Amino acid sequence: MDLPTFLWLWKIAAWSMGLSLLAYLLLAVTGIWIFRTRRLQQERPSWLRSLHYLIGSCMVSLVLLLLLIGIIGTLGHFGSLGHSPHLIAGLIVVVLVLLSGGSALLINAGRSWARRLHISANIALFCGFIWVSLTGWSVVQKYLP
């Protein structure tokens, strides 16, 4: 397929990736805030946990949108997948985001392992976002004139 017919797709991908990174940053801030209030046994604002869940849901949706765009765009342009390490990096990020979101839903007083899993997945996700950003930049270079 011709690149100009996919230009709108790449714009959506660029915005989705930027918003995913912004969501990750906001999740880190609100997550640290939640951790701090729990650690210091302070009362946290009633809206904080809901905001954290809302932003997390948005990030999961954005990452799944990026997966869909990557598959459609790559198949449309190359006819097959697996032309760069970006596929592996992207799939790992998708798995980590789903693991983080799924473990977040399981967090409660009786499941301390879910909180540890959630935090560990998010630390690994930091590295995953760096990797997918670097490999994504090399993919973008293939599509530029």
Residues whose CB is less than 8 angstroms from the CB of residue 63 and which lie 6 or more positions away in sequence, other chains included? 20, 93, 94, 97
CA distance linking residue 57 with residue 65, whole number of Å: 12
| Domain spans of the chain, in order of start | 3-143
79's tokens? 């006819």
| Span 91-130, pLDDT tens digits | 999 999 999 999 999 999 889 999 999 999 999 999 999 9
Phi, psi values for residue 9, rounded to 5°: -65, -40
The reported pTM is: 0.90
| Span 8-37, pLDDT tens digits | 788 898 899 999 999 999 999 999 999 999
